[in-house]
Every structure is written in C-alpha cells, then in structure tokens.
Structure 1
Amino acid sequence: MNIELMILIGSIAFTVLILPLLIKRDRLLDALISFSVMQAMTWLFGALVVEERLIEYPADFFNFATRTSFTFEYFIFPAVGAIFNVHYPRGSSRFVQALYILGIPGAITAAEVLIEHYTKIIDYVDWKWEYSFLSMTATLLLSYGYYRWFIGRIRRSRLPEV
C-alpha cells in the first residue's frame, strides 16, 4: 500500500471515528444540515478550481468519475464543517471566535501544504496555500451563516407543545 492510499484511508477512518465523539445525538440534525450544505458548497467550489486547472488530485478515490478530491470535498471537509458549526463558540469573546474561525482552516491548510509537498494526493498547479486558507475560511463562514439561518427557521416554525 502506498503512502497516498494510507493517508486517504487514514483520513477517512479518523473522520468516521471522531464524528460520533464530537457530534452528540441531540445535535445530529444540526450536523446533518451542516454536512449537506458543506457538500453542496465544496462540490461547486472544488469543481470550479479543478476545471480551471488550478489544482489537480492525481491520487484519490473515484478519479474515473471526478477530478475533484472525493475524500476531502465530499467527506472530510463537510465533516469539519459540521463540527465547526455545532461547536462554534457563540457565547465567547470576539477574540476566541476569531481564533476558532482562523484556527480550523489554518490547521487544515497546514496539513494540505504538507500533503501537497510530500505526496501525490494534491498538486498546486496555479494555486497557493493562501487561496486554500481563504476559501476554506469563507466556506466555513458561509456554511455557518446558512446553518444559523436554517436552524432558526426550523425552531421558529415548530408548533408549541400541548
């Protein structure tokens, strides 16, 4: 088994294991909404980036079906978005919120840079790590905004219990 396959399988396994630990049953609806919204956004943004040949994913699952990163864009990053939204520190100071907003995409970008440099999973063709950081930050914030709006509508529309 090559290093790329080990990283991809390990990333999926880690995500599968950590999701039930970080998403409690009472927040499952919130997580599922967030996951679905993130999948829609990452599909669109990922497809645009790949079609413009800014990034290539030489080693990934389902390369015969899509040139985007199935592992990251359809599973790992949507899972990160679900965790991001469910655990967003709403009651904390702006400083803590800024650390949260910048820390999560910062950690993912750092991992992506290492993966890009040392493996064949991702190849920056006409791309820079700064673009990844900014696009992930924007995507997480858009997802959180939609999540708050959608969950607010659901909670307001529920009939009062008798």
Structure 2
Amino acid sequence: MERIILWSLLIIGITLLFSSLRKPPIKNWIIIFSLSSYFSTFVGVLVVEEKMLEYPVRFLSNYFSSSLLYEYLLFPVVCIYFYQTTYGSRYLNMVLQCILYTTVLTIIEVFFERYTELIKYHTWTWIYTFISTFILMMFIRFLMQLINSKERYI
C-alpha cells in the first residue's frame, strides 16, 4: 500500500510542478524550487541522521535515508504555490497563508505517521514539523523577496 501512495504522490507532484511552471516568471519558480529543495534536504538529513524520525518505506532506500520525494519534489512544489499565492500579499496575509499551507502539510504527515509505514517519529513530533516547515517557507519567501528587490536595482 505504501508503494502505491508513494507513486501516487510522485505523479501528483510532477503534475503540480508542471502546472506551477506554466505562468511567468518561470525564473522565480525555478529559484524557489531549487532553494526549497536545498534547504529541506539539509534539514531532512539532519533530522534523519539524528534518528529523530525515519522513513521505513521510501524511494531509493538503498542509497538515501531521507524522503527524496518530499524534500526534492513535494515540498518545493508547495513552496512555489505558496509564493505564487502570496506574490502581492501584505505581511499578515503572507503569514496566515503560510500557517494554512503548513497546517495542511503537517496534517498529511501526521496521517502518514499514524496509518502507514512511510514515516515513523522517534523523538520528532508534529509540532516540530509545523514549526520547521513554517520557518522554512517564510525564509524562502523572504529570500525571494530580497532576490527580486536586488534584481530591480541592477
């Protein structure tokens, strides 16, 4: 059952990725995708190597101990959509939307932790997921805002 879920999430992730890249500025979407992949992988590897959680069933399990699907595809795609929906937003609206996106991701993770073998918490809890996801999404959002503001002056 877990393999079916993984393959379904892969198809959904690829579909959403191509859908998110359909409107300009594509350069921003690719930068967001790359930055969020980089930072989520960094955090994910630390958490897994510290044995705070594990992914018993995952893609390329012989080579990677973290979740490639989440760190390299699903989370970056969510970050693109978060940026797209907050592009012209004020700070409060941005924070509220980030809370919404983070809540949905956390609920999905808790569901997978309780009812599947895709993720198992050891010392990790859902609140760590919520906080780390929120901080990471806001950091990437502000980093993109900084990149775009510097680009205007060049």
Q: Structure 2 length as normaliser, TM-score?
A: 0.92
CA distance, structure 2, for counterparts of residue 54 and residue 152 of structure 1: 38
Unaligned runs of 5+ in 2: none
Amino acid across the alignment from 1:148: Q
Match of 1:87 in 2: 85
Distance 1:138-1:62 versus aligned 2 partners, 3 A rule? same
Measure the CA separation in 2 of the matches of 1:131 and 1:118: 19
CA drift of 1:154 comes to: 2.6
Moved over 6 A (4+): none
Quote the sequence identity (%).
25
Larger mean Cα displacement after TM superposition, 66-75 or 79-88: 79-88
TM-score (norm 1): 0.88
The residue correspondences of 1:1-162 to structure 2 (distance < 5 A) are 3-88=1-86, 90-92=88-90, 94=92, 96-157=93-154
In structure 1, the gaps of 5 or more residues are 158-162
CA deviations on 1:49-71 (whole Å, 9 max, x unpaired) are: 01100010010001111111011
The amino acid that maps onto 1:34 is: I
Say whether the 8 Å CA contact 2:112–2:119 is kept in structure 1.
Answer: yes
- 3-state SS of 1:26 partner: coil
3-state SS, counterpart of residue 124 of structure 2: coil
Give the partner amino acid of 1:75. Answer: L
Q: Please provide the CA RMSD for this pair.
A: 1.6
Q: Is the 8 A contact 1:23 1:83 kept in 2?
A: no
